[in-house]
A and B are shown apart, each in its own frame.
Chain A
């Protein structure tokens, strides 16, 4: 979980890494991928609504990041810039998925198809619960799902989410409140 205190400090430890990447340092780029991979994946899950294509899209995002790092004018705003790259890539991938009309296989079905021994009942119950919750999150409007996923995967504050998404802090709070209300209505008596 990202320490909110780090963000509030005047020095961002990623800025030297970004500068090195702009100078063509490939190993600095690999370091950034290692450090911020979770952040990029959380954005992708938030936009896509599921994790089926996260690996492929993440690779596209980082490839684009390497190619266009020179377009980043203000190094201090590298996070919103990277967020926009990831978001746009996820939106494009989502359009492709809609055209192909893919179906999401249930977790339990995949386990049985793999030929492994059936999991214990508790595991099945947890898997089913996770599936229900993920389906409910996927059903959220994108407007609410994005900040909700950023909050719960990265533990970010309102301020951090607002700076990344480039929206007001009050808007972040409103959208998170609305997301919780919708999830509660969708999962009433089911989880």
Chain B
């Protein structure tokens, strides 16, 4: 196949696409007369265009829509199905259950391997008064530990005094199960000031700062 000059080929294509002005059409016509190969190329491209248009029109078929356009403008029906119906209330129900669980906390959910709530109060003397040896921290504090840490706390929580008592401190220990699975120990000291009335051996305990 003889190579056609690119400019000639370009003009041929533009002519077939209706993009040549009058002067350009005249120039192309002269070029095709001078060059038989260019003329053959022009005829081949024109026949190809006709074949392609006919084939594509046949593939296009009847351009009228095979559907009702007005039907497309109707609002879509809500999604049905047991799967969708079930799903929409499961999520809020799960969120509500999680919220309730977090509010109730460890009182209702107790892991079997560790204590959830431990409350210890100092022993009570036979006369009904609680005794303590030494000063206790006036403020509650939170300690992080596991069961063994709790054992360590036992050693210095409660003691017994023997003489007259002026300050009585009770210490409560609460074990709280955290969301991370660890047990948090809460020490709450309650200090009571024992007052001694003038003519009595012991007085009524009065709640102190705490």
Interface residues of A (CB under 8 A from B): 26-27, 29-30, 33-34, 37-38, 41-42, 45, 50-51, 54-55, 58-59, 62-63, 66, 129-130, 133-134, 137, 148-149, 151-153, 157-158, 173, 176-177, 180, 183-184, 187, 191
Contacts and interface: CB of A to CB of B under 8 A. Distances in A.
With most chain A CB atoms within 10 A of its CB, the pick from B44, B45, B63, B64 is B63
B166 interface: no
Given A148-B52, A183-B48, 6 more contacts: A45-B59, A51-B59, A153-B56, A173-B14, A183-B52, A191-B51
Interface in B141-186: none
B19 A157 contact: yes
A63 B75 CA distance: 11
B53 interface: yes
B66 interface: yes
Nearest to A4: B18
B77 interface: no
A63 B57 CA distance: 24
Contacts of B17: 151, 157-158, 173, 176
B54 interface: yes
A184 B48 contact: yes
With most chain A CB atoms within 10 A of its CB, the pick from B53, B67, B72 is B72
B72 A63 contact: yes
Nearest to A135: B55
Contact of A33 (B9, B19, B69): B69
A73 B16 CA distance: 36
With most chain A CB atoms within 10 A of its CB, the pick from B44, B52, B70 is B52
8 contacts: A29-B72, A29-B73, A34-B65, A41-B63, A54-B60, A59-B72, A62-B65, A158-B17
B13 A34 contact: no
B126 interface: no
A77 to B, nearest CB: 22
B58 interface: yes
B83 interface: no
A33 B65 CA distance: 8
A137 B72 contact: no
A134 B18 contact: no
A62 B60 CA distance: 17
A42 to B, nearest CB: 7
B61 interface: yes
B73 A26 contact: yes
B70 A30 contact: yes
Contacts of A191: 48, 51
Contact of A51 (B44, B60, B64, B73): B60
A183 B48 CA distance: 8
A58 B65 contact: yes
Interface string B1-19: 0000000011001101111
B56 A149 contact: yes
A54 B55 CA distance: 15
B24 interface: no
Given A59-B72, A173-B19, A177-B9, A137 B45 contact: no
A59 B13 contact: no
A50 B61 CA distance: 12
Contacts of A26: 70, 73
Contacts of A34: 64-65, 69
B35 interface: no
B1 to A, nearest CB: 9
